[in-house]
Each structure stands twice: as C-alpha cells, then as structure tokens.
Structure 1
Amino acid sequence: MKDGRWVQIAESQFAHEQQGLDAIKRILPDAAPFRAWANFEFRDNRGRWHEVDLLVLARDTLYLIELKHYAGTLRGNDHVWMRNGQRAEDSPLLLTRRKAQYFKSLLTDTLRQKAGYDPGIIPYVQELVFLHHPEFTCELPESSKINLYGLDGLSHKTGLPGISERLLAPARREPVSEKNSLIIHGLMKAIGLAPRRQREVGSWIIDEQPSPTVTVGRTGRHFTMSTPNGTPASASTPSVRA
C-alpha cells in the first residue's frame, strides 16, 4: 500500500515497531476500499485517551491492531499471558477489544453530527493482536488464539495464522464501497487524531516522547512543552506515592 491510503500519524519510536507496521503495509492492496492509519491516539466520548498502533480498513471490517514484538514461547489463557521468565500480564487482546468498542462509538457519534449520513456506513470494528517477532511460538489453548496473528509464512513456527489471512479475507458482511471508504477517511480527519504521546492541553502541547530534556526523578517527571507555534517551555509533575 502506498502513502495516501496509508497514513502514519507519528514516527515509530522503535525499529521493531516500524518493522511490524511495514510487514502489514507490504501486504495491503493499494486499492479500494483499503486504508490504514498508524501510530495515533484518540480521545473517547468520556475524554479518555487511547493509543492505537494500527487501524486497517479492509473489505468489510475496520481492524484495530495491537502490535507485539514478543520473542520466545507464550503460554496462558484468555485473561493472562506468561512469557519465558517474564511476569504474568493481562492479555493485550482484552485491552484492544475495549479500544475497538470506544473507537466504534466515537466514529458513530462523529458521523451522527453530519446530517444525512447513515450510521450503518461504519463497518464492524474488530480487535486483533499481531505478534510479529520471527522467533515466537504461541502455546495458548486454541480458543485463546482467536484474533491473534503472526507473520506470514511462519505459521508452522508461531502456531498462529499469518496476518494477511485475516486482513485480505473476502467480505462476509456488506462490503465497504469506495464512497464509504472516503467518508470514513473524512471522519478520521474530523476526529482529530493526535500523534501518540503528544497531546494538546489548552494552548499547550505536551510531548511525552523520550528526549534529553525529559527526566524522571524522585520528585516527579519532567516534560517538554511547547505552544502550537513551537515556543518551547517545560513542566514537571509531582511524584505520587501509593
């Protein structure tokens, strides 16, 4: 997929994250109705911010995708994941599902504000987790592997279907027309997606990107800030003790 249909809101902080995005970008057709948006944040209807690695509009579905560069063997269940000596963690799929629900509500509400548009234009929003490390094996129960995908061509090693199997699947619901694809593209602009970890608060832009001027100490965390015209400033958050 070429730039235009592929919109990257912010640069990836890590090379492995960009590699995962590039793996998907290579397989997506540069054709209707496919589109994609990478590395952004959105604010839901309650004012909460959510990070999104990748959103893909496919033939009949919007896929909200969490990228994980996990090496080694994954075990666990629907709720808890355990990896090679790492601490147990909540399944990322659960959080991604909630993000997908919030995002669908935001899209639908944004569309309702535009007179004459049918809310049915918004396709189903499906959460996926893309585990894209080449040295990865998933030993979760089969029922817990649903909506988990790995790199193409490595299913014998990862124990997961390749990501293209889902993103390029034939439509099972009402196909998204190019007309509706363009409407969704317009909604994404109307929502006002923010680059990940950069948010505007009043007349200030707070940038939480790691930089030489960001420090974390016993008294709190220091952030770089700027006005929308680029005037630099700084701020600190006090430490919070449990």
Structure 2
Amino acid sequence: MRDDRWTTVTPWFFSDEPAALDPIRRFLPDDGLHRAWANFSFVAESGHLHNVDLLVAGPGGLHLIELDLSQGQLRNADDVWLRTGSVGTTASDSTRRTAEIKARHLTAVLRRATVGKFLTVPAVRGSAFLADPHSPVDLSEPQTQGVFGPDEPARTSLPRVTRDLLGQPAGDRADRPGRRLLRALPKMLDCIGQQPFEYWPRVGTWQLTTKPVSLTDQWQDFVAWSTVLDKVPCRVRVYAPGKSRTRTDEAVLREYLLLRDLDHPGIVSVDTLDQYPAGPVLMFHFSKRYLLRLDHILALYGARLTPATRAGMIRQVGAGLEYAHSRQVSHGALTTRAVIGVPRTAQGEKLGDGWLDPWLQISDWHHAAAAGAGAPTAAAVNRDLRGLAGIAREICAGALGAGLAELPDRLAADPDFARLPPAQQVRQLSLRLAAAAALC
C-alpha cells in the first residue's frame, strides 16, 4: 500500500510499533479500495478521547485494530488475560474487549458525521492483533474470537490478521462499505475530531500512562506519576463527559463528596477532584505502588488462597459494605471489578506472597452518588446483597458456588432477617458467606 493510502497521523514514539504494523501494510493491496490510518485519536460522543492504533477501510468492512506487543505465554481465566513472561505473570483486561469498546464509539461518531449525506456506515469491527509470533497463545475458544496473529511467520493457533480478517470480503452486505463512503471517509475522520495521538497526557502536575489500564463506557483509568515530586504513583479516573459536561461534573462532584464522607478502611479514599479536557477527574492515592482489581487478583493467585484467607477477604468486603449501609448509602454495582486490592507483604516476604492476603477496598461508587440522598430502597439493598454473594462465589472459585449465590434469597425469606436494618442484613450475610468460604 502506497504512502498516499496509508496515513500515519502521529509519528510513532516506539520503533517496535510501526515495525509490528509494517507487515500489514505490505500485505494490503494497493487497489484504490483500501485505506488505512495509523496512530490517531478521536473524540467519542461520550466525550472520551480514544487512541487508535490502526483503522483499515476496504471492501471487507471497517476494522479497528488494537495492537498488542506483549511477550510471553498468553492464557485466560474467564475474561482476564494472563501473560507469563520472564518477570512473572501479569493480569489485564482483554485487548479484544478494548478494541470492541473503541470500535463501538467510532461507529457512533462516524454515523453522526454522515447525517443528511445519504451515506451508510457499517459497524466498525474491533479486533486484537497479537504481534509477537514467538509467544504461545492458549486462550479458551470464546476468548479467541476477534483475536489475530501475524501473517508471517504464521501462528498456527490464531488466524492471520491480513489473510483471514482484512483481506476477506464482508460476510454480510450490511458490513460492506460503499465506494462513496470509502471516498468520503478521509474527510469524515477530520470531522469527528481525528487528531494526533498524545503520548504523555497530563492532569495538572501528574503525567499519565500512554494508554488506560482500564477502559469502560463511563471512564478511563490511568496510572500517573508526579512530575515535580517523588511520590508514589496514583490512580487517575477520567470520566466521560457524556451529552452534558455540566451534569457529568456535578455527578463526579457528588461522588467525590460521598467518598470524602465515607471514612472506612474497606472503602477507597479519594484524594483530589480535578478537570481535564477529556472529562472530570478523580485522583486516588495509595500507600503502595501495586494495585490490582479483585478479579485480577483471583485470576493470578486464586488457586493459592487458603480457606481462611478467602473467608477474610469476604469479611473485608462485607465490612466496607456494612459501613456504607450504616450511612444510608448503597453501592449499586458491586462486583469483583469494583473491588481493588494491594498486597500486605510481611518483612522478608516476596511481593507475590503479599497477594495471598490482600487488603481490599470497595471502589466505583458512581452509582451510589447518582442515587442521591435518602435511605436505600429495598431493591437497592437486595442488589448489594446479591453483589456480595456474587463476590463470595468468585472468591471461592466455584466451590459451593450455587449455595452462595442462593443465600441472599434464602435469608430474604426469613421474616426475622427481613426486619433487620440494611447494615445488619449485610453483616449477617457476610458472616454466613465467610463461614461457607472457610469450608472451601
């Protein structure tokens, strides 16, 4: 593909990134029907700024490719990707999931840009490209969907990115962009806010990581380092402004004030409320450099946890939730993704040993802030009880899973339990779950 059909919007900062994409460029035909844009960002309808490694347009559809340069054996524990290399095993969200979120948002802004122009924009397909041909891949069947490897040398366990994805005709006519759309696409990308990639974004005096460590439709989480002081890194959450920046600012302010009011070791504490062009920001400082979500902790270390540790983890989450309900606050979205942990390493222990007894805190209180003042409804209380039971089931890694999941319903049928205040209901359930976990 010639230079006039392959546009690198921002010069690459790391040399291995263009080297990984260069084989795709060589394999794409220079037939006038294919175009590609590399290393750019766009503003989603939500207001978030998304970075795109590669967008390819052709008769086979619109494809957003998320580049993954990680090395080491890749496997998964449910939806968590585990990468084992020379420095140990790390956990992360699926690269494919990140690509799908960005593709969905890019589809929306492209369709908005074509209103009144009689152009049909097919859905952009998000895919992950695992560029290292020497790293073995052992993903379960559902996790391999939308995941591709290099064309040469061919990786037998994965389909090839150009031959099996970009070079294939669209299976459905609705996924096939018309010639008029392909001709109009360069100007459309300019209209949607396409801009150079910002490698080192900053919030105040804090420098963010190049890419978010966690991405949802509501926010992006970054790790940040101070540019003026030698401080422990902090976690920065950039919220999507949505349709109204004012309303989002107000909602984030409510969450900030809520977290400032909730003072409990089992609930995350917020440090600063700040502003950033991409949206309002909450900054969380931690006393340790290492931080993992509970679902990642369980994927990495779950098999090594003792029954006593599992019971203790449930009690930690239960204590934080009980305190919140004693302050007339329900969480509303309690899952293992909404609980974070740091290692408690005893003197002389390795870091990995500290994760075998982690200190847990409940995070993601945006739903609670949106619910506003007033005592939680019975439905809200029940939702938190089910969330706590779901966390206990995952901590127990499937052991006694059915019984743990059904425990909130069994307790709710007890008239004495139903008459208890919400905080005491949480406490009773937590004790029952912890007792069951001690037998796992």
User: Do the structures match in fold with TM over 0.5?
Assistant: yes
Deviation at 1:215, TM superposition (A): 3.7
**Mapping 1:107-146, distance limit 5 Å:** 107-112=110-115, 115=116, 117-120=117-120, 122-146=121-145
2:225 aligned with 1:217, yes or no?
no
**Mapping 1:224-239, distance limit 5 Å:** none
**Percentage identity across paired residues of the two chains:** 31
Structure 2 letter corresponding to 1:82: L
Q: Which residue does 2:95 correspond to in 1?
A: 92
Structure 2 letter corresponding to 1:163: V
**Mapping 1:1-242, distance limit 5 Å:** 1-77=1-77, 79-84=79-84, 85-112=88-115, 115=116, 117-120=117-120, 122-155=121-154, 157=155, 159-164=157-162, 165-174=164-173, 175-197=176-198, 215=227, 217-218=229-230, 241-242=285-286
Looking at structure 2, the residues matched to 53 and 22 of structure 1 have their Cα atoms a distance apart, in angstroms, of: 12
Looking at structure 1, the residues matched to 89 and 209 of structure 2 have their Cα atoms a distance apart, in angstroms, of: 26
Structure 1 letter corresponding to 2:198: R
1:143–1:216 distance in 2 versus 1, CA, 3 Å: farther
- CA-atom RMSD in angstroms: 2.9
Q: Which residue does 2:319 correspond to in 1?
A: none
Deviation at 1:46, TM superposition (A): 2.0
CA contact (8 A) 1:73 1:138 kept: yes
Deviation at 1:86, TM superposition (A): 2.6
Tell me the secondary structure at the aligned position of residue 132 of structure 2. Answer: coil
CA contact (8 A) 1:60 1:123 kept: no
Tell me the secondary structure at the aligned position of residue 97 of structure 1. Answer: helix
CA contact (8 A) 2:119 2:180 kept: no
Tell me the secondary structure at the aligned position of residue 3 of structure 1. Answer: coil
Structure 2 letter corresponding to 1:159: S
> Which structure is higher in helix share?
2
> Which structure is higher in strand share?
1
Q: How many residues align?
A: 214
Q: CA offsets, 1:74-130, max 9 Å, x none?
A: 000551100112321111111211111111000001111xx3x2252x122101111
Q: Structure 1: which 5+ residue stretches go unaligned? A: 201-206, 222-238
Q: Deviation above 6 Å: which 4+ runs of structure 1?
A: 207-210
Larger radius of gyration: 2
Tell me the secondary structure at the aligned position of residue 13 of structure 2. Answer: coil
Q: Structure 2: which 5+ residue stretches go unaligned? A: 202-206, 211-225, 234-282, 287-440
Deviation at 1:193, TM superposition (A): 1.1
Tell me the secondary structure at the aligned position of residue 19 of structure 2. Answer: helix
Structure 2 length-normalised TM: 0.44
Looking at structure 2, the residues matched to 241 and 22 of structure 1 have their Cα atoms a distance apart, in angstroms, of: 40
Structure 1 letter corresponding to 2:181: N
Structure 1 length-normalised TM: 0.78
1:62–1:93 distance in 2 versus 1, CA, 3 Å: same
Looking at structure 1, the residues matched to 66 and 36 of structure 2 have their Cα atoms a distance apart, in angstroms, of: 13
